[in-house]
Structure 1
Amino acid sequence: MARLDIEIQSRKMLKPSASTPDNLRRLKLSLFDQLAHRAYVTMLLNYLPSSSDHETISYDKLEKSLAQTLIKFYPFAGRFGKDDPFSIDCNDEGVEYVQTKVHADDLPEFLRQAVGPNDIESSLLDLTLPVMVHMPSSPLLGVQVNVFNNGGIAIGIKISHIIADAFTIATFVNEWAHTCLTGTITQDTNDYLPSFGQLSSLFPARVLQLPSPPNLVPNYYKMIVTRRFVFDALAIENIRKTIKKDSTSDDMIKQPSRVVVVMSLIWKVLTHISSAKNGYSRDSSLGFAINLRGKLSCVPSLEHALGNYVMIAIANMEADEVRKDELNDFVKLVGNTIRDTCVAIGKASSVDDISSLTVNNRKKGVEKLVQGDKMDVYTATSWCRLSWYEADFGWGKPFWVSPVGFNAVEGAFLMDTKDGNGIQVTVCLKEKNMTEFEKHLHILSSTPIVG
């Protein structure tokens, strides 16, 4: 399959099915929203053709349920504030909604080719997403429903990172699916009160003096290639067995999580590629986000807050600490960084403490990036333990979920596999670095990405 024959059947600006109340028409951004990357986050949910156990898709029902869901997620149908850069005008202008017919019979076969070794993702998977450019006047959310000849469905989503982190996106997707499946919006209870505005009332956006990130060279994004790998449960356990036990370490290091194991291994491989390329070891940093929900003792009521609510943590390794075969060092650094950051979060006695910690960590991250010609800086994003595979619109749960076009910087993007025990890793590197990275495939599971 050299190309995707896709026919746009309808395109519209879909509005919420009820107007947003006047008292919710202006949403102030939080400090965390302010620090989020100004770009769309993408997601692709893929569904096999409906079986006799599930109803046939009703496109009117899918569209209607999204309009209903937007009542609850009203900022998604708004636009960036024209007179206030730290706000969203919740004006119900709508979200980009596209429905297509894909003239191909087999969705799994298409996906196997699109995420295969030939790096044709940009020309295939990107076509399953709505065409949108992240600008002040642009929609904040876009949805494209792609229907294959045999009934397979790929739902492509683009959403501005400024209004949503992974938790928020997963909450939205599952609420939309629930509404489509049942015809009703989830009723709020005392145990589940997701809402916008909670974070900005406590952590308002502000004028910040942050160092400017380095300018990317022309065509930088075109230099980045994307590959996907799967660590199944057995592969992760085998890697764990290679980690030497240290009686002085705490439980996080003695029994590292799946995410810590995979993150650490990827970081180790990347540092060795750098050493081989440069002829010497360089200082190296790995930055990753920590979800703050449920971690603040000073503000315990934000467990289900919507918007961005994460803090950057940075693990650092000096050049002389890099060893050829010691995964332990990387596991300790990642594990200790997570532990120390969570301890600092837990000890914070006020929202000001959390704000200062968030801003300071962001400054450190940008300062590392500025030194890019002298050291190596990587990012790793984990969307594990979120309910991506629970989104049933009425024709079953998705058989594969993945981000698309995650090529902003060199790094890795982690998500659970469908069984919840393994981890799918989307790796983005410059082409020469990717060639070296793929030589380490012997440490990876042979589990296929799709199918």
Structure 2
Amino acid sequence: MTIISSLVRFGKRQLHTIVSKQIIKPSSPTPSHLKTYNLSSIDQFAPDAYMPMLIFYPNPNTYTNPQVKMINDLKNSLSRTLTQYYPFAGRLAKTTPSFVDCNDEGVVFLEAHNDNRLSDFINNMHHEDLDQFFPNGLLWKKLRSYSLENDRTSPLAVQVNQFACGGIAVAVSLSHKIADGSSLCNFFNDWAITTRSGTSMDQNYASPIDPYFMSFNNTNLNYQGVSLDKSRDSAVTKSFVFPGSKINELKQKVVAMTAESEQPVVNPTRMEVINWLLYKCALKAARKNNNHILKTSGFVLVTNIRNKMSEPLPKTTIGNFYSLPTFSTKNPDEITPSAFIAQLKSLKMEVKGIQNINNAVEMLPQSVIEKEQRKFDECYMSTSLCRYPLYEIDFGWGKPIKAAIAGTFKHNGFLAVDDRHGDGVKVFVNLGKQDMEIFKSDSELRSFC
């Protein structure tokens, strides 16, 4: 990066100003029998990090005084939403938490102004420019990095950012210790639904949302959890968009490549072919940076198990409900599309063998320990939030024009979301700097995104 471009981007960040800070508490007190929310063993093994999600909207043009009315509406609706999501307004221990104290102490709500026009910012932004839109720098940061008082911290923080043109960016940071990506999407959407439904603070108000929190016994596994916090000196995140037409081309390529093999691929899913291409190109980059020697690598398919168990859970279930099926790659022959997709299908069958949530809660800790003991030279985690309607999250201002997962985290990884049009996929790829330099220029990858 040139000195001039660095100065330009430094200048852009200086235009972003925090103008207010407030604690938003639930509109109704949490009943005494719900004051303690125990974390499951999956929660306790979840990454020690805040998940950062950001959604951009054009000028709503629905308020006479947008800088006051809109913010008040968001605060009031957040207060009502927290009544339903009561653990999010509580407090967690900053190290090895095993429960949430649902004491209604509330969440931080920051308001910020940005002197850029929304269109100018989006057209010229780099991934790291998104960091400034998040409360207290909570982007894959550890719980203990966010101190409210003593040794406790809040699971949730919010920042609403207004651009010079009236455009809006709503940012949410949510602790992975209490929820997964599915829960974050549900919360964001439920907050929007509550905002859109009106601003009545009547105690008899019937909430349009119904999140489901499960009850678990109190068990303290004293497990730190995986840290996703990593210095930007050693990792970088970039986004790659696969249009729907290019995904179809990639599917056709995979089918043609495997037609004569012992394991022909028929009707592959879009994420099967995208994961194959990403993993192949990432390993190619890593091998080039390692004297052309392929390290033993693990591919982890982070899988939402809510609807995949024999006894499924409601999709509105809040918490960490995922499995981490994994396979290893030791030689280049295992990166062929037929071998890779066969492995993926095997992982999916492994998840379908889970009977119920109690079975999953018992299985995951041992699974995590086994993966840590295997000590891959490199490990690549793939997560998909596709089919979650991020571009349908409407606070009453219309649909968003952009949704993003911000920050840079520790592990090599691929995080996929639907593109704005719904038929394509945007993938946030996180790799070491040297690997990313090779990966982003891969001709095969660039031919599909």
Please give the range of the TM-score, normalised by the shorter of the 2 chains. Answer: 0.7 to 0.9
Unaligned runs of 5+ in 1: 116-120
CA-atom RMSD, angstroms? 3.1
* Aligned counterparts, 1:120-131, within 5 A: 121-122=127-128, 124-131=129-136
Distance 1:91 1:329 in 2: 51
2:411 equivalent to 1:409: yes
Q: Secondary structure at the match of 2:236?
A: strand
Q: Which residue of 2 aligns with 1:392?
A: 394
2:436 aligns to what?
434
Superposition deviation, residue 446 in structure 1:
7.7
**How far does residue 100 in structure 1 lie from its aligned partner after superposition?**
1.1
* 1:26 counterpart (31, 36, 39): 36
Give 3-state SS (helix, strand or coil) of 1:37's partner: coil
The equivalent of 2:333 in structure 1 is: 321
Give the one of 1, 18, 23 matched to 1:13: 23
Letter aligned with residue 419 of structure 2: T
Give the AA of the match of 1:128.
F
Which residue pairs with 1:342 in the alignment?
Answer: 351
- Structure 2 SS opposite 1:99: strand
The equivalent residue for 1:144 is 159
Aligned residues: 419
Kindly, what percent of the aligned residue pairs are identical? 28
Q: 1:362 offset after TM fit, Å?
A: 1.4
The amino acid that maps onto 2:277 is L
Residue in structure 2 matched with residue 118 of structure 1 by the alignment: none
Give the aligned partner of residue 48 of structure 1. Answer: 58
In structure 1, the residue corresponding to 2:56 is in which secondary structure? strand
CA distance in 2 between partners of 1:209 and 1:138 (Å): 17
* SS of structure 2 residue aligned to 1:173: helix
What's 1:275 paired with?
287
User: Which residue does the alignment assign to 1:37?
Assistant: 47
Q: Which runs of 5+ in 2 are unaligned?
A: 1-7, 145-150
Aligned AA (2:134): L
Do the aligned partners of 2:19 and 2:113 also contact (CA within 8 Å) in 1? yes
Counterpart mapping for 1:167-186 below 5 A: 167-183=182-198
Please give the alpha-carbon distance, in whole angstroms, between the structure 1 residues aligned to 2:281 and 2:26. 47
Cα displacement (A) at 1:52: 7.0
Length-normalised TM-score, structure 2:
0.85
Q: What is the Cα deviation at residue 275 of structure 1?
A: 2.5
| One-letter amino acid matched to 1:43 | M
- Distance between the aligned counterparts of 2:332 and 2:31, measured in 1? 59
In 1: Cα distance, 2:29 partner to 2:59 partner = 35
Within 5 Å, give how 1:12-411 maps onto structure 2: 12-51=22-61, 58-80=70-92, 85-104=97-116, 106-115=117-126, 121-122=127-128, 124-131=129-136, 132=138, 134-135=143-144, 136-183=151-198, 194-198=211-215, 200=216, 205-207=219-221, 220-243=231-254, 244-245=258-259, 253-278=265-290, 279-297=292-310, 299-319=311-331, 321-322=333-334, 326-338=336-348, 340-345=349-354, 348=355, 353-368=359-374, 370-372=375-377, 376-411=378-413
Say which SS state the counterpart of residue 395 (structure 2) adopts.
coil
Runs (4+) off by over 4 Å: 51-57, 81-84, 184-189, 218-221, 246-250
The one-letter code of the counterpart of 1:130 is P
Q: Is the 8 A contact 1:381 1:412 kept in 2?
A: yes
CA contact (8 A) 1:180 1:394 kept: yes
Contact kept? 1:267, 1:330, Cα under 8 Å: no
Supply the distance in 2 between the matched residues of 1:332 and 1:53 (Cα, whole angstroms).
54
Partners of 1:13 and 1:142 in 2: how far apart?
A: 9
CA distance in 1, matches of 2:263, 2:230: 44
Following TM superposition, by how much is the alpha carbon of 1:151 offset from its aligned partner in structure 2, in angstroms? Answer: 0.7
Taking the aligned partners of 2:345 and 2:312, their CA distance within structure 1 comes to 24
Equivalent residue letter for 1:344:
G
Which piece of structure 1 moves more, 158-167 or 50-59?
50-59
CA distance in 2, matches of 1:71, 1:384: 28
Q: Aligned-pair distance for 1:48?
A: 1.2
**Distance change (3 Å), C-alpha of 1:196 and 1:54:** farther
- Report how far residue 193 of structure 1 moved: 5.0
TM-score by length of 1: 0.84
